[in-house]
Amino acid sequence: MHPTQRGVEMPPPTGWYPEPRDKFQFAFLPMIDCFARICYNTPKGVFTVIYIGCHLSVTNGCLAMGETMLGFGGDTFAFFTRNPRGGKSREIDPADAAALSALLAREGFGPLVAHGSYTMNLCAANPATLQNGLEMFADDMKRMAYFPGQYYNFHPGAHVGQGAEKGIELISAALDRFLTPDLPFTVLLETMAGKGSEVGGSFAQLRQVIDGVAHSEKLGVCLDTCHVWDAGYDIVNDLDGVLTEFDKTVGLSRLKAVHLNDSKNDLGSHKDRHEKLGQGRIGADALRRAVRHPALQGLPFVLETPNDDAGYIEEIVLVKEWMAEA
């Protein structure tokens, strides 16, 4: 059985509000896809199932990342727009970025998921830290102009004792400054583990941030499997229930990408320590179900597991096996 026929074996749960994408993709596209694979022997069919890749270093430039991911067998990837721990980053070479865009189109890659710096805090209590975060965000918006159609994902922030309401207000206000109708890419809020005073540890908080932004059509969400598990969403025993809650609170149409990670810790631990696929508390079965879930098809899945290149290649192969299973 072709992997995209999974809709047959796993019908959407009751109370589901299917997006047009789901309806179309799970009824009609799999048939075309299967037909194309049989008749034309295309490697992935006409329509990919999910896109899979991992986090890559930008050290050797843009095109080099695309070539590396081709070698890894993936069809999406993530990269830091700048030094993840802060500091200056080198300028992006427009010709190099254009060469990457050509590779992505030629090879049928899914959207890339660029990642903002960990030190950027759009709701910091310290005025200098907040100003620094706003400057980093502004600079990232300029950098992302070289990656039209891709995603820019960032950690919403930590309110550091100001309270979640104040934090949410500050994040929305910051986004409101930068999200304009002509932005050529989409900004993604990452679901967080709720460690310390992190904002984004619940779907309701993400909804509140989105509601405070005028041009929220430029805003989406990246769901991190380790983070939501650590935040207390039981994706092991009730993935359908978690996604239904996401749909009711945020809306599945906002869900643009997935960070596919296992967790070193238990449900609701609020720790945020990633683990290799199948070696943590979420486990291979639950991650496999996420990869194959109807509501998550067509999205880029990015591995942020503690791996070297060989480990990432193994996990990309593993995820592709999950996708291909009957």
The token pair at 320 is: 């592709």
Shorter beta-carbon distance to Zn ion: residue 4 or 117: 117
Asked if residue 196 lies in contact with residue 162, where contact means CB atoms within 8 angstroms, the answer is no
In the complex, minimum distance from the CB of residue 104 to Zn ion, in angstroms, rounded to a whole number: 21
Nearest CB to Zn ion, comparing residues 25 and 121: 121
C-beta of residue 148 within 8 angstroms of C-beta of residue 184 = yes
Establish if 230 lies at the interface with Zn ion (CB under 5 A): no
Shortest distance (Å) from residue 153 CB to Zn ion: 7
Q: 238 CB contacts (<8 Å, ≥6 apart)?
A: none
Q: Which helix (H) or strand (E) holds 256?
A: strand 255-260
Residue 153 or 297: which CB sits closer to Zn ion? 153
The answer to whether 188 and 256 are in contact (CB under 8 A) is yes
Least distance (Å) between residue 119 CB and Zn ion? 12
Closer Cβ to Zn ion, 240 or 272, answer by number: 272
Q: In whole angstroms, how far apart are CA 104 and each of 11, 51, 76?
A: 32, 12, 9
Nearer to Zn ion, 120 or 170 (CB): 120
DSSP symbols for 18-85: --HHHHHHHHTHHHHHHHHHHHH--SS-SS-S-EEEEB---TT-HHHHHHHHHHHT-S--EEESS-TT
Q: Which residue is nearest to Zn ion (CB)?
A: 272
Which residue's CB is nearer to Zn ion, number 190 or number 240?
190
Q: Which long-range contacts (CB under 8 A, 24 or more apart) does 63-70 make?
A: 63/96, 63/99, 63/100, 63/103, 65/100, 66/100, 66/103, 66/104, 66/107, 66/109, 67/103, 69/109, 70/103, 70/107
Size of the site for Zn ion (CB under 5 A): 2
Residue 247 touching Zn ion (CB under 5 A): no
Positions in 208-227 near Zn ion (CB under 5 A): none
> Could you tell me the smallest distance in angstroms from the CB atom of residue 133 to Zn ion?
15
Q: Per the structure block, which two tokens stand in for 129? A: 């830290």
Choose between 227 and 288: whose C-beta lies nearer to Zn ion: 227
Q: How far is the CB of 249 from Zn ion (least distance, A)?
A: 20
49 to 26, 116, 210: CA distances (angstroms) = 10, 27, 28
Q: How far is the CB of 39 from Zn ion (least distance, A)?
A: 41
**In which element (H, E) is residue 198 found?**
strand 198-199
**Which region, judged by CB under 5 A, interacts with Zn ion, from 79-87, 206-214, 269-277, 291-299?**
269-277
Q: Which of 140, 240, 247, 272 binds Zn ion (CB under 5 A)?
A: 272
> Please, what is the minimum distance in Å from the beta carbon of residue 190 to Zn ion?
5
| Element of type H or E holding 157 | strand 157-158
| Site stretch for Zn ion (CB under 5 A), options 23-31, 175-183, 267-275, 295-303 | 267-275
* Beta carbon of residue 270, minimum distance to Zn ion (angstroms, whole number): 12
Residue type, 69: M
Q: Is the Cβ of residue 33 or residue 190 nearer to Zn ion in the bound state?
A: 190
Site for Zn ion, residues 173 to 192, rule: CB under 5 A: 190
Residue 136 host element (H or E): helix 127-144
Please report, as ranges, the residues that interact with Zn ion according to CB under 5 A: 190, 272
